[in-house]
Amino acid sequence: MNSDKEFEFTSEDFDFLRGIVTKTTGIVAPDDKYTMYYSRLARRLRTLGLSTFAAYRDFLKNNQETESIELVNAVTTNLTSFFREKHHFDYIRDTLIPKKASEGDYTLRIWSAGCSTGEEPYTIAMTLLDAISDNSSSPDRWDIKILATDIDSNVLKTGSAGVYDASRVSSLDVGILRRYFKKGSGSNQGKVRVNPILQEHIQFKQLNLLHDWPINDRMDYIFCRNVVIYFDKETKAGLVNRFASQLKDDGILFMGHSESLYKTSDRFSLLGKTIYQLAIN
C-alpha cells in the first residue's frame, strides 16, 4: 500500500498521530487527511534524520511536550489574510465604535484567539484606529489592547515581526496601504512592514485554547474565526462557553463563516452574520 512512498505510513501510524493532535488541540482529522499528514510529516522525519514512522512515534513518546507542538504545527492549517470576512470589520467601524463613543466608553479589550500569522489582529488594529479617528475629537483618550494568541509558535514569530510579502496586501485599499504599511527596499524588496503604531496595541502570546487562559482582562470582543471548524462538538461547545465567561457583559464573539453557534451554546444571541452577543441571563 505504501510501496511508492519514501517512508511506510500505516493506518496505525495515522491514527496514533491524529489522536495526539486531537488530544492536544481539539482538532479532529478526518480520513481524507491521510495524504496531507504523510507529506507534512515526511518532511519532519527528514529534518529529524529519522527513517521510519515507528521511530518518529518513539521520538514523540520520549519528547512529548516539545514534539507534540511540532506535530501540531506541521499538520494544522494557518490560512489567513488581511480583512478576511470583511463584514466583521465593517460592523466594528460602522456600529460598535460609534456606540462606544456615544456611551463615553473609551476602553477596548480584544482577543484574537487563533491569530495565525497576525493578519487578523493587525486588521482589528487598523479598523479600530481608523474608526476612532472618525468618531472622536481626541483619539488619544482611547485605551486599546489586543491580545493575539495561537498554539503555533512559528506563526507567532511572523505576527510579532509584522513583515509580509507585498502580494499579501496588494488588493488592500490605497488609504490603508499608505497609513499602515511601509514598502521594503534592498534585502526587503518585495516585502512590506506594518506601521509600528499597530504593534503598540498588540501583544502576541502562545496559548493553547484547550488549556488554562492566564488572561486578566474581560474582553469587549473575541475573534475566534476558522479555528473550531475541525473541533468535535463537545470541544467547540466547551470553548464557546469559556469565551462567554471571558467577555464583558455586553461582549461580542466573532466566529468564522462556517462556524455557527446554532445548537452549540445558549449563552449567545445572533447579532449579524457570524456575530454573536453575549446573552444577559
251 lines the binding site for ligand SAM (CB under 6 A): no
Min dist CB 27 to ligand SAM, Å, is 6
Contact stretch for ligand SAM (CB under 6 A) within 37-45, 79-87, 95-103, 263-271:
79-87
**In contact, 124 and 254? CB cutoff 8 Å:** no
Name the 3-class secondary structure at 204: strand
Helix axes 11-25, 34-48, angle to 10 degrees: 90
Which grid cell is 132? 476612532
Return the number of other C-beta atoms located less than 10 Å from residue 238's C-beta: 17
Number of residues assigned to the chain: 281
- Maximum separation of any 2 CA atoms in the chain, in Å: 69
| CA atoms within 13 Å, Cβ hemisphere of 215 | 29
> By C-beta, is 144 or 255 nearer to ligand SAM?
255
Q: Looking at beta carbons only, is 135 or 160 nearer to ligand SAM?
A: 160
Among 116, 127, 199, 246, interactor with ligand SAM by CB under 6 A: 116
Q: Is 124 in the site for ligand SAM (CB under 6 A)?
A: no
Per CB under 6 A, the list member of 108, 126, 155, 192 interacting with ligand SAM is 155
Among 208, 213, 241, 248, binds ligand SAM (CB under 6 A): 208
Phi, psi of 236 (to 5 degrees): -65, -45
Q: Which of 13, 150, 152, 220 is catalytic?
A: 150
Binds ligand SAM (CB under 6 A): choice among 82, 256, 259, 264: 256
Q: Where are the beta strands (DSSP E) in 176-246?
A: 181-183, 191-194, 202-206, 219-224
Residues that bind ligand SAM (CB under 6 A): 25-27, 76-80, 84, 114-116, 120, 150-152, 155, 208-210, 225-227, 256
**Enzyme catalytic residues:** 40, 150
